[in-house]
Chains A and B, each alone.
Chain A
Amino acid sequence: MRPRAPRRGRGSLGSGPLGSGPLSPGSRPSGARTGGWWGLVFVAPQTLLFIAFFLIPVVIAFALAFMEVRPTRMTWIGLENFETVLHDDLFRRALVNTTVFTAVVVTFWLAKAVLIAYLLDPMSHALQTFFKSAFYLPAVTSGVIISLVWLWIYHPNFGLLNGLMVFLGRDPVAWLGNTSTALPALMAMQVIMGGGSSIVLLSAALARIPRDLYEVAIIDGAKRPTIFAKVILPLIRPTLLYLVVTGTINTFQVFEAVYVMTQGGPQFATTTVVFRIYQEAFQRFDLGVASAQAIVLFVITVALAAIQFRVLGQNVEY
């Protein structure tokens, strides 16, 4: 029996960041085979946790979406839960709210992160470290704490923002009580407090751009805006793609701020999809409908990610 040649494809040893250099065919040391087993041993705990606490619950959620779930029994009801979801005005409202929230937050969040990373790029290492740490700070603070602080900022009677309004001679506003300001207020909070990790990643992406390219562009007579639009943006596109995809997925699942600050109000103006799922599952105890809503959310986020990959997913090499 002929020994099997090692499989060499894209992403095989040598091409990844952990690769130790090219290997000629047949030169793979025998220890590599046992190394494969060791690799399995090392990834096993994470894989088991992933299976137990993610994969199995997801599979169960898929199953529950087709059932009427009561504490003492589960009955197969086909697509009935999905019909309920599609006819639920509040779920449709939640979808619209979440889409608007995601579009605005991800756009402004990324714009803020790109701008700040761009401004940090020429600074000294020490200054960059200071600012990156400062911008990253909210990311290590509990979302509930941040929401409580902003709840006070937006308070209609004692709030910091209304204090400022009165100081400027304007009438106080019930920021979280008004249907036209509640969602923008949450979005503003998210944009201001978010983006720390994006700034760190974009700074790294900017630092990787070869300086020769800037020099060539300057020699060719390009001004700063042109260099930014024609050189920098295309070269950080892979990082941007990653941030857009992960940012969209994360923002589409917004819950904490809504739960703490508005409970979906006023008049459902801030009801989001995940908050609706929470209400259905834990306030109305209807796990079937909640699972159907979760699947709708899953399909939407996968579709959005696919679209983003298609639009932005272009290999960049330099």
Chain B
Amino acid sequence: MRRSVLWILATLFATSSIALAQPQIELTWWINPWRIVTPNLAEGQSPTGEEYAQYMSEQFMALHPNVTVSYELVPNAGFGEKVTTAIFAGNPPDVLKDLDWNPDWAREGLLEPIDPYLTDADRADFLDYALAKGEIDGQHYIWPWNNSNNGMGSTMLLNTALFEEAGVELPALPDRSWTIDEFMAAAEALTMDRDGDGTTDVYALTFAARDTENMLAWLFRFGGRLMNEDGTEFVLNSPEGVRALQFIVDLIYEHGYAPTGGEALDVYGTIENLHNARAAMGYGGIYEIGRIDRYLNEGRMPDPINVAIAPFPHDPTAGPVAYETSGGFLVFKQDDDYRREMAMELARFLTEKDNIKLLESLLYITARRSANAELTFTNVAEYTDDVPTEVAVYQAAIDHGIPYFGPSDLDISAAMEHFTAAMEAALSRSKTPQHALDDFVAAANAAVFGR
């Protein structure tokens, strides 16, 4: 009896010692809304964007009872402003989704490098470019989470009913790759005047000057690039870049395959035209198929459409190109070793295999190879013929991914407003493609490199 009591007392003492050794701390975590379906969400309930942050915080706190995670849902619009203000006020969150992040934060010593916490298994499992995105001066600062984006700049969505109506075959499987010539033949047939009144009822596709990713995707078709390989100069006014912009302008004004007015549109203009069947082709990947379901439920589009994914068409000499991008979580500088350890633990927890797979409900590919091998995306089956095929096509497309915006450690935000201006000028024909890109390159080099 006495021995039992002693054991109990010893156990209690040991437990309380451990508890005392682990102080109560509070970690702040800021993330924009991600409409991820969490395991605790009721059947049929649509996520609002907050469930993920709440669920993951609770899960983490259950594992670490001495840690309180205070998550804050920061809207996409104004995310950068809020984070910047917090940084300048000396009060950034402990863990942050890397939306609108600036590589200078790492150089200023505001971020914790994650290298000491990355295991060999992590390094092998994370996609190379996802890990490389957060590499500044030889150290890594981002725990990779989502791979690619919503597919903008990487793949196109083809309205299968309109393809059928126009008598156009979808590009051939397994990867649906197609050449510019094949695309042009399809675009001609897909541009339809159904009632013969001289007005185009269905356009092949839409161009939008303020849709940066997709405009860059088109400008890269013939081998043009935004910057040189060293990331030391903007070179989009190369003959290949100018040829691509001329190609876009011709599609609108010479062939009439795309509507005029693109100079006033952003990416939502392209989405709207696809959803309203005013354009036979739009942009995006699996995530954008999910948007169809969401917009139908919200009454934002009239009728469902069935779509297939295809890569952007390629020029045989230049080869296929897609947008390589990823996102993840940053850990801000910590004064206390234990807080640093737990902030890193939270970021690791969010990005470990079982948790990263939650991205599947949002129709995102993840940054972990092991998780991607198990993704099925069954919840978009209603709007596409064969989900595994579309997933395979999408993954094949982003295998050709390249970073569109130059080196990840270079802040080119000052240049991109000039890019939009150049696209507006070209699409409204107030400047020739050569003139527009020359002006862009001059302004961008001056803004970013001071020359």
| Chain A interface residues toward B at CB < 8 A | 69-72, 154-158, 172, 174-179, 263-268, 279, 281-285, 287
Q: List 5 A-B contacts (CB under 8 A).
A: A72-B108, A155-B264, A174-B264, A175-B264, A266-B209
CB distance from B192 to the nearest CB of A (A): 16
What CA separation (Å) do A282 and B413 show in the bound complex?
Answer: 11
Question: A156, A179, A264, A283: which contacts B413 (Cβ < 8 A)?
Answer: A283
**B304 within 8 A of partner (CB):** no
Question: B261, B272, B425: which contacts A267 (Cβ < 8 A)?
Answer: B425
Across-interface contacts of B425 in A (CB, < 8 A): 266-267
CB distance from A16 to the nearest CB of B (A): 41
Q: Is the pair B428, A72 in contact by a Cβ cutoff of 8 Å? A: no
**B10 within 8 A of partner (CB):** no
Across-interface contacts of B260 in A (CB, < 8 A): 156, 172, 174
Q: Is the pair B417, A264 in contact by a Cβ cutoff of 8 Å? A: yes
**B139 within 8 A of partner (CB):** no
Q: Is the pair A266, B108 in contact by a Cβ cutoff of 8 Å? A: no
Q: Is the pair B421, A71 in contact by a Cβ cutoff of 8 Å? A: no
If over half of B's interface residues share one DSSP class (helix, strand or loop), that class is named, otherwise mixed; here it is helix
Q: Is the pair A282, B84 in contact by a Cβ cutoff of 8 Å? A: yes
**B414 within 8 A of partner (CB):** yes
Across-interface contacts of A267 in B (CB, < 8 A): 421, 424-425, 430
Across-interface contacts of B68 in A (CB, < 8 A): none
A-contacting residues, B374-433, CB 8 Å: 413-414, 417, 420-421, 424-425, 427-428, 430
Map CB proximity to A onto B258-289 as digits: 1 under 8 Å, 0 otherwise: 01111111000100110000100000000000
Map CB proximity to A onto B84-127 as digits: 1 under 8 Å, 0 otherwise: 10011000000000000010110011100000000000000000
Closest to A156 in B: B261
Across-interface contacts of A283 in B (CB, < 8 A): 80, 413
Closest to A271 in B: B417
**B254 within 8 A of partner (CB):** no
Q: Is the pair B269, A157 in contact by a Cβ cutoff of 8 Å? A: yes
Chain B interface residue count: which class?
Answer: 20 to 34
Question: B209, B263, B413: which contacts A284 (Cβ < 8 A)?
Answer: B413
What CA separation (Å) do A99 and B165 show in the bound complex?
Answer: 53
What CA separation (Å) do A69 and B88 show in the bound complex?
Answer: 9
Across-interface contacts of B263 in A (CB, < 8 A): 174, 177-178, 266
Contacts A156-B260, A282-B81 given; does A265 touch B420 at CB 8 Å = yes
Q: Is the pair B265, A177 in contact by a Cβ cutoff of 8 Å? A: yes
What CA separation (Å) do A284 and B278 show in the bound complex?
Answer: 37
Across-interface contacts of A176 in B (CB, < 8 A): 264
What CA separation (Å) do A158 and B102 show in the bound complex?
Answer: 37
Q: Is the pair A266, B421 in contact by a Cβ cutoff of 8 Å? A: yes
Across-interface contacts of B420 in A (CB, < 8 A): 263, 265
What CA separation (Å) do A72 and B111 show in the bound complex?
Answer: 12
Most chain B beta carbons < 10 A, residue from A172, A266, A283: A266
Q: Is the pair A177, B81 in contact by a Cβ cutoff of 8 Å? A: no
Q: Is the pair B209, A279 in contact by a Cβ cutoff of 8 Å? A: no
Closest to B265 in A: A156
Q: Is the pair B88, A177 in contact by a Cβ cutoff of 8 Å? A: no
Closest to A287 in B: B88
What CA separation (Å) do A156 and B210 show in the bound complex?
Answer: 14
Q: Is the pair A71, B105 in contact by a Cβ cutoff of 8 Å? A: yes
| Chain B interface residues toward A at CB < 8 A | 80-81, 84, 87-88, 102, 104-105, 108-110, 209-210, 259-265, 269, 272-273, 278, 413-414, 417, 420-421, 424-425, 427-428, 430
Across-interface contacts of A264 in B (CB, < 8 A): 417
Most chain A beta carbons < 10 A, residue from B102, B260, B273: B260
Q: Is the pair A72, B110 in contact by a Cβ cutoff of 8 Å? A: yes
Across-interface contacts of A263 in B (CB, < 8 A): 210, 420
Q: Is the pair B428, A266 in contact by a Cβ cutoff of 8 Å? A: yes
Closest to A263 in B: B210
What CA separation (Å) do A189 and B413 show in the bound complex?
Answer: 30
CB distance from B335 to the nearest CB of A (A): 14
Question: B102, B109, B414, B424: which contacts A177 (Cβ < 8 A)?
Answer: B424
Q: Is the pair B430, A179 in contact by a Cβ cutoff of 8 Å? A: yes
Q: Is the pair A71, B209 in contact by a Cβ cutoff of 8 Å? A: no
Q: Is the pair A266, B261 in contact by a Cβ cutoff of 8 Å? A: no
What CA separation (Å) do A188 and B162 show in the bound complex?
Answer: 39
What CA separation (Å) do A287 and B104 show in the bound complex?
Answer: 15
CB distance from A197 to the nearest CB of B (A): 28
CB distance from A56 to the nearest CB of B (A): 14
What CA separation (Å) do A156 and B270 show in the bound complex?
Answer: 12
What CA separation (Å) do A219 and B95 show in the bound complex?
Answer: 79
CB distance from A285 to the nearest CB of B (A): 5
Across-interface contacts of B273 in A (CB, < 8 A): 157
Across-interface contacts of B102 in A (CB, < 8 A): 285
**Additional pairs, 18, CB under 8 Å, beyond known A72-B110, A174-B264, A176-B264:** A71-B108, A71-B110, A72-B109, A156-B259, A156-B262, A157-B269, A157-B278, A177-B264, A177-B427, A177-B428, A178-B264, A179-B430, A265-B420, A266-B421, A266-B425, A267-B421, A268-B421, A284-B414
Across-interface contacts of B259 in A (CB, < 8 A): 156-157
Contacts A69-B88, A71-B108, A287-B88 given; does A174 touch B421 at CB 8 Å = no
What CA separation (Å) do A178 and B294 show in the bound complex?
Answer: 33
Across-interface contacts of B264 in A (CB, < 8 A): 154-156, 174-178, 266
Q: Is the pair A265, B210 in contact by a Cβ cutoff of 8 Å? A: yes
CB distance from A81 to the nearest CB of B (A): 15
Across-interface contacts of B84 in A (CB, < 8 A): 281-282, 285
CB distance from A274 to the nearest CB of B (A): 14
Question: B87, B88, B209, B428: which contacts A179 (Cβ < 8 A)?
Answer: B428
Across-interface contacts of B414 in A (CB, < 8 A): 284
Contacts A178-B263, A265-B420, A267-B421 given; does A71 touch B413 at CB 8 Å = no
Across-interface contacts of A71 in B (CB, < 8 A): 87-88, 105, 108, 110
What CA separation (Å) do A267 and B417 show in the bound complex?
Answer: 9
CB distance from B215 to the nearest CB of A (A): 13
What CA separation (Å) do A161 and B165 show in the bound complex?
Answer: 31
CB distance from A210 to the nearest CB of B (A): 52
What CA separation (Å) do A174 and B206 show in the bound complex?
Answer: 14
What CA separation (Å) do A36 and B209 show in the bound complex?
Answer: 62
Question: A177, A284, A285: which contacts B261 (Cβ < 8 A)?
Answer: A177
